[in-house]
Amino acid sequence: MQVCAATVASPACIMMLQNQNKLGSMTNTTHFGYKTIQEDEKVQEVAKVFHSVASKYDVMNDLMSAGLHRVWKAFTIAQAGVRPGFKVLDIAAGTGDLAKAFAQQAGHAGEVWLTDINESMLRAGRDRLLNKGLVTPTLLCDAEKLPFPDNYFDRVSVAFGLRNMTHKDQALVEMRRVLKPGGKLLVLEFSKVAVPLQKPYDLYSFSVLPWLGQRIAGDADSYRYLAESIRMHPDQETLKTMMETAGLERVQYYNLTAGVAALHTGIKL
Ligand SMILES: C[S@@+](CC[C@H](N)C(=O)[O-])C[C@H]1O[C@@H](n2cnc3c(N)ncnc32)[C@H](O)[C@@H]1O
C-alpha cells in the first residue's frame, strides 16, 4: 500500500487514499448463501429477505419445521431460566417468540428488549407482543453495534439470527460486552445435521423449502437463501470456539433434532 508522506495531504494524495479505501472495501467479501458478495452489500441483501418474508414468517416457520421450531425455542427458554426482575436482550428477535416468553417470566419488575435490524420483522414482533398485552421496549439495532452499556443484561439471546450477520465474531463480542458478569448468552441456530440425515435433509432443503416459499410467501429465493446460509454457517464445534474466542466461558452446546439446530450457551465470568 502507498503512503502519503505530506503532513497536509494534497488533493492528489487524498484521491489516492480514497481509491485505496475503495479497493480495501472491495476486497472484503463475505457469503450471502452460496454467493460471494462485498461485505457492505450483505446487510441490504439480508434486509431484502426479511422485508419480503415478514408477513408470512410465522406460518412458514411452522410449515417448514412441522412445528419443531417451537420445541427448540421451548428448550432455549428453559435453559435461559429467566426469573422475575431479570433484564433480557433478545437480539434478531423478529416476530418475538423468545421475547414473549421472557417478558412473561421477567414480569413487571423485569426488562425485556425486543430488538432487530429489520423494521418489517420488528413491527410484526412488537404488534404480536402488544396483542398479548405485553409492552416491551422495542429497538431497531444492529447486533454488531449494540446501543447498550456494558454489564447490563442477565440474559442475551439470539435465535436463528447469527447466521445472517456479516461479522459474527464482532456480534458475539458485543453480546458478551452487554452481559453482566454471571450473565448467560444463548445462541439458537441451524447447525450441522448428523451424517445419516444429510441426504434427505439436503433434498428437503433445496427442493421443498423453495417450493413452499413460493407457494406461501410468493418468494422461492429467500428460502433458497435459507437453505444455503445454513450450509455456510459454522458447525457446532466451530461456533463453540468462536464463542470462547469472544470471551465467553463454560461454552457448551445441545444438538436438537440430530443437529438440524443447536443451542449454544456461554457465561460471562
Ligand atoms: C430467521 S429470523 C429469526 C427471528 C426470531 N428470532 C425467531 O427465532 O423466529 C432472523 C432475524 O435476524 C435479523 N438480523 C439479521 N441480521 C441482523 C443484525 N446484524 N442485527 C440484528 N438482527 C439481525 C433479521 O432481520 C431477522 O429478523
Whether 259 contacts 194, CB under 8 Å: yes
Q: What is the pLDDT of residue 1?
A: 28
What's the CATH number where 211 sits?
A: 3.40.50.150
Distance between Cα 86 and ligand 1 center (Å): 22
Sorted by sequence, the CB contacts under 8 Å of residue 117 that are 6+ apart come out as 43, 46, 47, 92, 140, 141, 142, 143
Q: What is the pLDDT of residue 77?
A: 98
Q: Which of 117, 129, 156, 163 maximizes ligand 1 atoms within 8 Å of its Cβ, making it the mutation to test the pocket?
A: 117
User: 27 and 132 share a domain?
Assistant: no
Q: pLDDT tens across 155-211, in order?
A: 999 999 999 999 999 999 999 999 999 999 999 999 999 999 999 999 999 999 999
Distance between Cα 21 and ligand 1 center (Å): 30
User: 151 and 22 share a domain?
Assistant: no
Q: Is residue 37 part of a domain?
A: no
Q: What is the pLDDT of residue 155?
A: 99
> Mean pLDDT, to the nearest integer, of 121-145?
97
Q: pLDDT tens across 41-56, in order?
A: 999 999 999 999 999 9
> Mean pLDDT, to the nearest integer, of 57-84?
97
* Per-residue burial over 116-128, b = 16 or more CB atoms within 10 Å of its CB, e = otherwise: bbbebbbebbbeb
Q: What is the pLDDT of residue 194?
A: 98
User: 205 and 234 share a domain?
Assistant: yes
For ligand 1, atom 8, the nearest C-alpha belongs to 159
User: 6 and 112 share a domain?
Assistant: no
Higher pLDDT, 182 or 2: 182
In this prediction, residue 19 has a pLDDT band, given cuts at 50, 70 and 90, of very low
Distance between Cα 84 and ligand 1 center (Å): 26
Q: Is residue 81 part of a domain?
A: yes
Q: pLDDT tens across 79-113, in order?
A: 999 999 999 999 999 999 999 999 999 999 999 99
**Mean pLDDT for the chain overall:** 91
Distance between Cα 157 and ligand 1 center (Å): 11
Please choose, from the candidates 236, 159, 154, the residue with its C-alpha nearest in 3D space to the C-alpha of residue 194.
236
Q: What is the pLDDT of residue 27?
A: 62
Q: Is residue 151 part of a domain?
A: yes
Distance between Cα 118 and ligand 1 center (Å): 7
When divided into structural domains, the chain yields a total of 2
Q: Is residue 177 part of a domain?
A: yes
> Mean pLDDT, to the nearest integer, of 13-31?
52
Q: Is residue 115 part of a domain?
A: yes
Q: pLDDT tens across 196-239, in order?
A: 999 999 999 999 999 999 999 999 999 999 999 999 999 999 99
Largest CA distance in the chain: 65
What string of DSSP letters covers 179-223?
EEEEEEEEEEEE-PPPGGGHHHHHHIIIIIHHHHIIIIIS-HHHH
Residues with CB under 6 A from ligand 1: 46, 50, 91-95, 97, 116-118, 121, 142-144, 159-161, 164-165
Q: Which of 55, 118, 123, 169 maximizes ligand 1 atoms within 8 Å of its Cβ, making it the mutation to test the pocket?
A: 118
User: 6 and 65 share a domain?
Assistant: no
Q: Is residue 44 part of a domain?
A: no
Range(s) of the domain holding residue 25: 1-32
Q: What is the pLDDT of residue 3?
A: 29
Q: Is residue 185 part of a domain?
A: yes
Distance between Cα 6 and ligand 1 center (Å): 46
For ligand 1, atom 13, the nearest C-alpha belongs to 92
**Would the pLDDT of 24 be above 70?**
no
**Would the pLDDT of 120 be above 70?**
yes
User: 73 and 9 share a domain?
Assistant: no
What string of DSSP letters covers 16-44?
HHHHHHHHHHHH-EEEETTEEEEHHHHHH
Q: Which residue has the cell 447466521?
A: 163
User: 8 and 108 share a domain?
Assistant: no
User: 120 and 212 share a domain?
Assistant: yes
Please choose, from the candidates 42, 14, 38, the residue with its C-alpha nearest in 3D space to the C-alpha of residue 27.
38
User: 61 and 1 share a domain?
Assistant: no
Distance between Cα 122 and ligand 1 center (Å): 9
User: 22 and 66 share a domain?
Assistant: no
Q: What is the pLDDT of residue 16?
A: 37
Q: Is residue 123 part of a domain?
A: yes
Alpha-carbon separation of residue 257 from 71, 169, 194, 260 (angstroms)? 10, 26, 9, 6
> Mean pLDDT, to the nearest integer, of 29-51?
92
Express as a percent the part of the chain with pLDDT over 70.
90
Q: What is the pLDDT of residue 21?
A: 41
User: 227 and 182 share a domain?
Assistant: yes
Higher pLDDT, 181 or 22: 181
User: 55 and 85 share a domain?
Assistant: yes
Highest mean pLDDT among 17-31, 45-59, 240-254: 240-254
In this prediction, residue 20 has a pLDDT band, given cuts at 50, 70 and 90, of very low
Please choose, from the candidates 117, 67, 66, 119, the residue with its C-alpha nearest in 3D space to the C-alpha of residue 97.
67
